[in-house]
Structure 1
Amino acid sequence: MSVSDPVADMLTMIRNSVSVKSEKVDIRPSKLKMEIIKILKNEGYVKNFKKITQGEMDIIRVFMKYDEKEQPTIHGIKSVSTPGRRVYSGYKNMPRVFNGLGTVIVSTSAGVTTGKKAVLSKVGGEIICTVW
């Protein structure tokens, strides 16, 4: 039986795009992926994104962000929860990435948010990924 993880596939596509210094990457859309990409844009990891239709298929086009030295703003992106191993955390035990310099993306009962906002709202949830 094969198990797919669409979120991990999206993160791998972003990681590969950054490693070859690509300008953009096209991703198959879902509500969860769209929320993760919105957080990446709000936190300053990607330049922009837009949802477009090519023929009968929808895609999310994510534009990568680089600094003035052509270095990517995403140094690393790692999936934490998988379909076979879900990782949960309460707001009191929310992990920190690089002593607060990175971002934890969490799926809470109030929606998908960053770890810092989840702690301020006092809600825990499933840890989706970490970005630094």
Structure 2
Amino acid sequence: MANHDPISDMLTRIRNASEKKHQNTKIPASRMSHSIAKVLQKEGFIADISEEGEGITKHLVLELKYSGKHRHPIIRSMQRVSRPGLRIYKKTRGLPKILGGLGVAIVSTSKGVMSDRDARKQGVGGEVLCYVY
């Protein structure tokens, strides 16, 4: 069965890789997955993003981050919020604060994909893609 939700596929790949303490994980490249990865990197959840392959076989390689000598994953939870069957949109004021601001909601706005913090700063709302903490 073909996956109709590339974003939840991406989140699952990152979640699985960090649970198994992999150094990095590969996800199929797309503009949306690249934007989400950029937000995760800016917010300090992943260390690095690189591209691999050409055309249809292009992949993003995300380098995951861990803390301490026991390598606890920085990403403790990733939840898909808006999905193809049920889109969730929020206005600027309605944007959720994840764990009192410790986590981040990734929002797709008219000004691009950004964290809930940046969306509030720019005064834009949009589709709440996922929560990460």
Deviation at 1:54, TM superposition (A): 6.4
Aligned residues: 132
Q: In structure 2, what is the equivalent of residue 120 of structure 1?
A: 121
Q: In structure 2, what is the equivalent of residue 82 of structure 1?
A: 83
* CA-to-aligned-CA distance 1:53-99 (integer Å, 9 cap, x gap): 16962110111101123111101111101100000000011101101
TM-score, normalised by the number of residues in structure 2 = 0.94
Q: Secondary structure at the match of 2:107?
A: strand
Q: In structure 2, what is the equivalent of residue 68 of structure 1?
A: 68
Deviation at 1:44, TM superposition (A): 0.6
* CA-to-aligned-CA distance 1:99-119 (integer Å, 9 cap, x gap): 110001000011111101111
Structure 1 unaligned residues grouped into runs of 5+:
none
Q: Secondary structure at the match of 1:127?
A: strand
CA distance in 2, matches of 1:56, 1:113: 26
* CA-to-aligned-CA distance 1:23-70 (integer Å, 9 cap, x gap): 111100100000000111111101111011169621101111011231
CA distance in 1, matches of 2:123, 2:105: 15
Q: In structure 1, what is the equivalent of residue 95 of structure 2?
A: 94
CA distance in 1, matches of 2:121, 2:62: 29
Q: In structure 2, what is the equivalent of residue 24 of structure 1?
A: 24
Once the two structures are overlaid, the 10-residue window that deviates more, 54-63 or 84-93, is 54-63
Q: In structure 2, what is the equivalent of residue 14 of structure 1?
A: 14
TM-score, normalised by the number of residues in structure 1 = 0.94
